Amino acid sequence: MINNIKRISDYIDRLNIEQQPLEHENMHSSRRFKMLSKTVRLVRTLKEPTLPEDGFPKRLAASIAAHGSKASEVCSKQEEKQRGSAEGETLKTSQVCCKQKDYGREGVTGQISKKSAVQMRRKIAGTAIAAILMLVFALSLAIPPIARTNIVLAMERAIEDVQSYHGILEIVMTNKNGEEFIQAKREVYTDKKGRYWVKELDGINEGFVTVNNGEKKWQVRPDEEKVYLFEAFPDAYRFTFELDNEVNYVKNAAKVTACGEETVAGRDAVIFEVSPHGGQTYKIWVDKETKLPLQKETSMQNALQYKVTYTEIELNSRIPAEVLSYRIPEGYSVVVTNPEQMVNDAEEAQMLAGFAPIAPLINHEEYELDGISVATSGKIIKFHYTSRAGQNKVIFLQGRATDSFKAASTAVLGKVGENAAEIMSPLAESYGVLSSGLYAGITDISSIHWQDAEYDYAVVGNASLKELAEFISAITGESVEFPEESRDQEFEPQVKVAVNMEIENNEQKSVDGGHTPWRLDPVFTSQVFVSLKIFPDGMEGDYPVAYEALEVKYNNGARAIIEVTVESPVRRVYLEKLIRQDSTGIWTVVGYDEN
């Protein structure tokens, strides 16, 4: 598919510069490619012929006239030469000469040609329209917009070759009056293993140094003379404008449009407008040479706009070993933000936690055991795993259940064996064993959480949900059941609610800007809907139906059914994510069942 996209793009580019495409006579092209290229050529016939320069038509007419005159002379000589020939041969020569004499002239033949030309034009027009429709249909099925495809592919290929980089980042804030303020300036080192070193050169945190070497994360704060220790994984915050993330944002955008060129930090760049699904459009400057982002400018939100720029960048520059070495400056004290004790084996973990954990997975094809720790406050045992490639990390958490299992309202509902499971990607809320770490709110962290008898279990990591499910099966022997993508037979509300998509799009933008976050919660959205059914003229004070009185019966991440467990005019509420089917998409009520 990608190969065909590139080839058809090159094919169109060659036609646009009036050159025959290299693929035109390729006998080994696929049947689909031949169909697409033929359609492109048909559409191309609608284009006005390209003339070399002004005055060309006059020179062409003069050339034709001269050619016609010479042709007449040649015909006359041929007629004289053929005068003793047979009658049939003379007639044949005469017909040839007549055709040559009529070349470029008007007469009865010209009048007939005009009529034929009109008919021909009608046929060509009909064919062309059909060709356009066929091309649009074919491309809509097979190929994303060519301009967008080219830049996305170029950026993806470019970032694959970058193992590390070093740069200077500058963040500038602009207010509604057009006044600019430098918010921060920082030096960064980062690599594909997730390690990084960031030093604040300017701004409110000037002098701070934040490091994650894969084993420890710490922040040096000179103004306090303290070193703060954090969990190395998951990492709640790294730094703004990471190249890998920006490439993914462009890849997943609804629309990417080139809108100009500009020089950024001495490098030639193409400006693109990027429109996320249901989100605010922003601009990104892509280096012509490296095909990687140099600068990003957000849209104006809450009367503020931000521009982030790599004023300097050096690709594949290794992180100096000395900056990744954990050292406490003389006179500084250490603050541990989330105390955990590392142990040597499961037996030591049992002694600290007070229960026997499920045996750790030792021999796994993709992951290896990297450490065992116990969160001392909650007596929770954690088995830490790292992928053999070194890019992904997974933690298996286990502890005693302190309450009955209830999935988060924003979670997708599934099963581990016969037990209900809470599935979140990314992890938005932390309950039970998940509360033992700073996992919630990190965009690349997913989780599967469940209870079995008196124990609480969870697997979290920056791997895919499919990988986490395979991990659970390998450890527990239980299979993980995900909800079906659609259950239309169960999603049939008695009363359908009309939806104004313009209003919903604006609501999504409002949520993206930090307003009305309750629209991200299907239970809260249902609570507001049911309460307005009870008091259609508005409410004062508490909602007439409590949040706890609504229960999630079904949620597959795109559709949800919420049941009202107390007396009300509504028995069930049906919701869908109509704008964006991910964790940032708002829920919209599309129907309900009456009580």
pLDDT band at 151 (very low <50, low <70, confident <90, very high): confident
> Residue 150: its pLDDT value, please?
83
Residue with more model confidence, 212 or 70:
212
User: Which residue matches tokens 């066929």?
Assistant: 134
pLDDT at residue 380, as a whole number: 92
Q: Where are the alpha helices (DSSP H) in 82-223?
A: 87-102, 108-142, 146-160
**pLDDT given for residue 541 in this prediction:** 81
Phi-psi region of 194 (alpha: psi -120 to 50; beta: other; left: phi over 0): left
User: In whole angstroms, what is the distance from residue 595 CA to residue 581 CA?
Assistant: 29
Between the ranges 310-314, 479-483, 535-539, where is the mean pLDDT highest?
310-314
pLDDT of 343 reads 84
* Reported confidence tier of residue 139, pLDDT bands at 50, 70, 90: very low
CATH assignment of 342-481, given 3.30.1490, 3.40.1000, 3.30.300, 3.30.110? 3.40.1000
Q: Using an 8 Å Cβ cutoff, are 556 and 461 in contact?
A: no
Task: Give the length of the chain.
Answer: 595
Q: Please, what is the average pLDDT of the chain? A: 80
Distance CA 151, CA 111 (A): 52
> The whole model's pTM is what?
0.56
141-145, 161-165, 305-309, range with the lowest pLDDT? 141-145
**What per-residue confidence (pLDDT) applies to 395?**
93
CB-based contact 399:456 (threshold 8 Å) = yes
Fold of 154-315: outer membrane lipoprotein receptor (LolB), chain A (2.50.20)
| 255-287: b (≥16 Cβ within 10 Å) or e | ebeeeeeeebbebebbbbbbebebbeebbbbbb
The whole-number pLDDT of residue 338 equals 76
Write down the pLDDT at residue 12: 67
% of the chain exceeding 70 in pLDDT: 73
DSSP conformational letter for 301: B
Q: Which of 78-82, 218-222, 370-374 has the lowest mean pLDDT?
A: 78-82
CA atoms of 108 and 3, how far apart (whole Å): 53
Rounded Cα distance, 218 and 332, in Å? 13
pLDDT of residue 134: 53
Which alpha helices (DSSP H) does 477-515 contain, by range? 501-512
Mention every residue, 6+ apart, whose C-beta is less than 8 A from residue 329: 220, 225, 227
Would you say residue 210 has pLDDT above 60?
A: yes
pLDDT in tens, 389-404: 777 889 999 999 988 8
* Average pLDDT estimate for 520-530: 95
pLDDT digits (tens, 9 = 90+) for 533-586: 999 888 778 899 999 999 999 999 999 999 999 999 999 999 999 998 888 899
Coil vs helix vs strand at 59: helix
Helices then strands, each counted (H, E), the chain? 11, 26
The CA distances from residue 168 to 187, 198, 275, 313, 318, in Å, are 5, 10, 27, 7, 15
Using CA atoms of 67, 68, 74, 77 in order, give the dihedral in degrees to the nearest 10.
-150
- Tokens (6 digits) for 314: 């050096």
pLDDT of 492 over the 50 cut: yes
Q: Is the model more confident about 84 or about 452?
A: 452
455-465 pLDDT per residue, tens: 999 999 988 89
Q: Are 414 and 435 in contact (CB under 8 A)?
A: no
Q: Taking the CB of residue 308, how many other CB atoms lie within 10 A of it?
A: 20
Q: Which residue has the tokens 């790294």?
A: 238
Report the candidate in 582, 579, 589, 537 with the shortest Cα–Cα distance to residue 556. Answer: 582
Average pLDDT of span 273-294: 92
Q: Residue 305: is its pLDDT beyond 70?
A: yes
pLDDT at 86: 41
Q: 254 by DSSP, 3-state: which? A: coil
> Using one digit for the tens of pLDDT, what is the confidence trace for 260-275?
999 999 999 999 999 9
pLDDT in the model for residue 592: 97
Q: Picking from 12-26, 196-210, 447-461, 474-488, which range would have the lowest pLDDT averaged per residue?
A: 12-26
> Residue 306: helix, strand or coil by DSSP?
strand
